[in-house]
Amino acid sequence: MIKSNKITKISLGLLALLFSANLLAHGGAAGTDTDQCKFELEKDHWLHYTAYQPNSFPAEEFCASLPKLNEKIMLVFDYQDNKYRNDTVEFEVTKEPEGKRVFFLAGAKHKKGTVELVLPEGVPEAGKYLIHITLVPDQGERLDAHMSFSAGGGAATAKTTYALYALGLVGALYMGYLSSAGFKRKVDDIIAKIVS
């Protein structure tokens, strides 16, 4: 019984680590930069980007691939430092390769360091889109940066979430198997019937 109790505690600890937001957030590898939703505007000055489709995927964050068409999209940009908070920044989203504009936010200063773009109708066609970010500093040259995303890939982009749920369910069933003699007996009976 003591050994089973230890295994249950270890399993619960590992399961808690699996669902830890710190481990999963933007790559989770300590000491390395694995954030795929971050891009460099200038040397050592970064912008973080997160996309949401809150109507269909209220708890999902997306980066390079959005599953749904013709549905509200929220694009959120966070300055990683204070450098650009006094600069005028404009945003544009275009359908590629045509370069057709689907969204434009006129230049403005975003002193809080976060910019939220809302495309109420989303994007109408599947394919590649480009986010154009233009910085217009009070002094110096304009700076153009680009980041692409694709849209219309379907719910397959959220497969990792379903995999985590399945893994959690398997972990919970396994812990139940280890800690409950009645459940273990039922599972063993089912396995014996399948094998024989």
Which tokens hold the place of 122?
């989303």
CA pair distance 193, 173, nearest whole angstrom: 19
- Give the tens place of pLDDT for each residue, 135-187: 887 777 788 888 888 888 765 445 566 777 888 888 888 888 888 888 888 88
pLDDT score recorded for residue 146: 87
Confidence of residue 21 (pLDDT cuts 50, 70, 90): very low
List the one residue out of 83, 67, 84 whose CA is nearest residue 160. Answer: 67
Q: Name the phi and psi angles at 78, rounded to 5.
A: -120, 125
List the one residue out of 139, 152, 184, 196 whose CA is nearest residue 56. Answer: 152
pTM (two decimals): 0.59
